[in-house]
Structure 1
Amino acid sequence: MLDNIAAEGLEVHSLLVWHDGVLIQDAYWDPYGPERLHMMHSVTKSFTAMAVGLAWDDGLLDLDLPVIGFFPEHRAVAPEGIEAMTLRHLLTMTSGHGRGISGGAWRKLKTSWVADFLRQPLDHTPGSVFVYDSACSYVLSAIVQKVTGRTCHAYLRDRVFDPIGLSPAIRWDLSPEGINSGGNGLWCRSSDLLSLGILHLQEGRWQGRQILSRDWVRAATGMQVRDVSLGVLTGEAYLGPGESHEGAEAERREGYGFQWWRGPRNSYSANGLFGQNCFVFPNERAVVAVTAGMDDEDTRLKRMIHDDLRPALGQWRGAELAPRLAELDLACPPPGNISVAPAGWQGLYLARQNEQDIACLRLEIVGDAIRLVVEDRRGRHEVLAGLGHRCEGMTTMTGARLHHAYEADPPGFRVAAWAAWSASDAEGWSCLTLDWAFVETAFRDTLRIRLRGGELRLQREVNVNSSIRSLPELRADQVAEDCREPEEIAP
């Protein structure tokens, strides 16, 4: 498996394999590690389903109740026929909407997310058509909070997370309404993701204690809807099953449970955008948890797990993997090559007009690292990148357009960054490459800064995103005077 991952050049962050009651292997690619939290995208939906299951177990919810009954204050904005939409339809992604809302759209919305969901037109009879929709999961989170008086996170913390030993550092994003985001935005360790699968493989039992009812787990992971289509993600919406976008077509899948995907050979899984997955194999009594930075359309790792790793379980040959695991690295930093940096490269660069609202940049050497400082409309941001090695820190560097609408608001995102110089090319341009691994997310940015005669050109791209992968080239000129303050930047 490790050979195949390396040969294919896949960006895997962690791979954990549990079989017959034992964690038989856990692999982490540096700078990722066992104590790192990792941003979960749609894997979060399966956590939300647990909260619904607990409320159902407690007799607080009936899955066939109309959704609008929980939000009478929004009835005026809802379309005709809304009374037919039930909790069961939210759980199975059959709400009746023609398109699904992505978290990338709602993270920009500062008003009520519940109201926005309920005002969407009903293109289908609820229960008739599967349309993947993160908003369904959010409304489930809102309903749990209505009936329990607690957020999903608080409810699950007492009833599931603490009893089965999940990380106390788990966090979960909140909407403008103070409700956990439901369909995404939970941050947990890879081992926590593995435990989610183990708990469901064991039909809700953990060390002799029934955490979730067996009936709920069977329903949630069972085949509720067969032969479904995961619509194309445009960045802000999941299209309907018959729609295409920029040549991409809907992906056919085996089926869906309650916020769990059904898979081949009686398997089921929690899947998240850009490579978080928890695969459960009841026939093999196994769970595999993965975090990565990969396109959803890239099925190579999934095929390796289903077709190579799964059949090999139970055939351990005693290979000594410890030295191999210790050497796993996302991308080894190259030598810093500071000796080939051009003369006079340090200093202040005033940006020319640009659509990123960047006013100026500063480059400077700090010990054995390079600091890049950027001032834009959001304020002042910096990243410290080690010359030939990674430096770890926090940054608020603007990047929502490249990071599925996630913005690094204070205190920022944790980043591990390295820098390396390349000698001048035939046209006299020297190149400084910066690699920023946002180690609690799937995102990794690559910046190429070309310098010649006081002129700077910057290109920035990302490994994965739901829309654009690169920003327009930024140009700047080295200046001696102080940079303007951010508040002086023209709108």
Structure 2
Amino acid sequence: MTVQKRMTLADLGLFTGAPQHEHFCRMKDLLDTCEMTPSANPYPWPRGEMTPLPETYDYDGASRRTREFLAGTDTAALLVLVDGVIRHESYFLTGGPDVQWLSASVAKSFVSALVGIAVEEGHITSIDEPISSYVPVQPGSAYDGVSIKDVLQMSSGARWNEDYNDPASDIFQLNAATAGIGGTLDDFVARMVRESEPGTVCRYNSGETQILGALLARATNRSVADYMDEKLCEPLGMTSAGYWLVDPAGREVTFAGLNLTARDFARLGELYRNEGVWQGRQIVPAQWVRDSVTVTAPHLRPGRPLVGGQQADGVGYGYQWWLMAGDRGEFSAVGVYNQFIYVDPVSRTTIVKLSASREYGTSLDEATSGELETIAFLRTIAQQGH
């Protein structure tokens, strides 16, 4: 089903400081979407003894108050699972257990899982193949002859500026393409320009995930939403409908357009915490999960990836997953405006934080993105009592 469009992403005033919590909770009512149905065999999360959040956490050499952080980042949902059991669940602002929230780039990690499934099913022969063997691109353009693996690792060599503080940046142009401005999303990625040798620089690039969405659609001969409905929503027991934003041609906005409830977002974290196994069934190949959350090359190590021209302190990159420095094996799906699916395998914890942090992108500073501080906060929750 497609919902009639009433506005575009550009109309939301993203990265201007404008409050967004009234938008992110109802994107299906504002923009064109396609719907994924709840599972025929829904799996409600078991609930255990509720654990209070820590009153404080340490960041940047100082103790900070949890309550102030949650308010300051316009938090809408905070869900904590330990061993697959809900141990904390809070909602604020326009959030709620039945609210489908905009994932932003958390969507990228779902796309990665679907690519892994498509490889296992033989729709994609190998991720060492050029992505241009499946997706038509202009000769000599960024994705012509580049391996699917390099695209998964944000290492295609494409020229890109993911600067949310620059209205002329590539990410703003990609957002415009979601409304058909300058062509479709497929048109946009087909003509992107190469800048560096593939497999040498990890440059965070939402265009990479958009062409992975086109890869999925062409390799499976199905829409991304249809494929995800069967391969993730149904077997993971999702209890609510899900929605993908789509462009005027009907292509899913795979770099940022997935909308789910906090409880359903958590299913991907738990699936990956358990190496792709759900209720005894292998949903995503175990080796794919391990490869997805492991640094496999020097340019992917913590501190090496580039975001908006700056190095990403303390985090490395896998197959569309962020990898935390340290020896705990933590990994996270991360989206603008402070969206997180964070997993700490050591404490067996999965945490979902959905937000509408209004200052996000108004500068290049960590103080406005809050991502490193969020990691410190989530780590404190995961490690309390351990």
Structure 2 counterpart of 1:87, one-letter code: I
3-state SS of paired residue (1:283): coil
Q: Secondary structure of 2:110's partner?
A: helix
Alignment pair present for 1:156 and 2:232: no
1:120 maps onto 2:187 in alignment: no
Mean Cα displacement is larger for which, 218-227 or 81-90? 81-90
Shift of 1:83: 4.0
Query: Which runs of structure 2 are paired with 1:177-192 in the superposition (5 Å)?
Result: 177-192=249-264
> Which residue of 63, 86, 108 maps to 2:127?
63
Cα separation, 1, equivalents of 2:274 and 2:68: 35
In the alignment, what sits opposite 2:243?
171
Q: Give the conservation status (yes or no) of the 8 Å contact 2:177–2:184.
A: no
Which residue identity does 1:285 align to in structure 2? Answer: R
- Residue 165 of structure 1 aligns to a residue in which SS? coil
Q: Does 1:258 align with 2:336?
A: no
Matched ranges for 1:23-172 at <5 A: 23-61=86-124, 62-72=126-136, 74-76=137-139, 78-79=140-141, 83-100=144-161, 101-102=170-171, 103-110=174-181, 111-172=183-244
Identity of aligned residues (%): 26
Q: Secondary structure at the match of 1:24?
A: strand
Which residue number in structure 1 is paired with residue 75 of structure 2? Answer: 12
Residue of 297, 302, 311 corresponding to 2:375: 302
CA offset digits 1:151-203 (Å, max 9, x no partner): 11111111211111114410101223322111111110011111110011011
Q: For residues 98 and 158 of structure 1, what CA distance do their matches in structure 2 show? A: 34
Instruction: Choose 1 or 2 for highest CA Rg.
Output: 1
Instruction: Tell me the TM-score normalized by structure 1.
Output: 0.57
Matched residues, number: 295
In 2 relative to 1, CA 251–220 (structure 1 residues): closer, same or farther, beyond 3 Å? closer
Normalised to the residue count of structure 2, the TM-score between the two structures is 0.72
- Residue 180 and residue 313 in structure 1: after superposition, are their counterparts in 2 closer, same or farther (change >3 A)? farther
Instruction: Report if the CA contact (8 A) 1:5-1:301 is conserved.
Output: no
SS in 1 for 2:238: coil
Distance 2:346 2:318 in 1: 18
Counterpart check, 1:226 vs 2:305? no
* Structure 1 counterpart of 2:164: none
Equivalent position SS for 2:89? strand
Task: After TM superposition, list the pairs within 5 Å mapping 1:392-431 onto structure 2.
Answer: none
Gaps of 5+ in 1: 233-240, 242-248, 315-491
Q: Deviations over 1:11-54 (max 9, x none)?
A: 21111111123211111124421011101100000111111011
Matched, 1:292 2:349: no
> Separation in 1 of the partners of 2:374 and 2:214?
34
Deviations 1:196-224 (A, max 9, x none): 10011011111111111111111112223
Q: Kindly state the Cα deviation for residue 82 of structure 1 after the two structures are TM-superposed.
A: 5.0
| Secondary structure of the structure 2 residue equivalent to 1:90 | helix
1:300 is displaced (CA, Å) by 3.1
Residue type at the aligned position of 2:286: R
More helix by share: 2
Give matches, 1:228-243, under 5 Å: 228-232=304-308, 241=309
Over the aligned positions, Cα root-mean-square deviation in angstroms equals 2.0
**Matches of 2:248 and 2:147, distance apart in 1:** 24
Matched, 1:267 2:330: yes
Q: In structure 2, the residue corresponding to 1:35 is in which secondary structure?
A: coil
Q: CA deviation at 1:104?
A: 2.7
- The structure with higher relative contact order (CA 8 Å, sep 6+) is 2
Which secondary structure state, in structure 1, belongs to the residue aligned with residue 334 of structure 2? Answer: strand
Q: Is the 8 A contact 2:100 2:242 kept in 1?
A: yes
Pairwise mapping of residues 446-485 of structure 1 onto structure 2 (< 5 A)? none
SS at match of 1:302: helix
Q: Distance in 2 between matches of 1:30 and 1:68?
A: 44
1:353-392 pair list within 5 angstroms: none
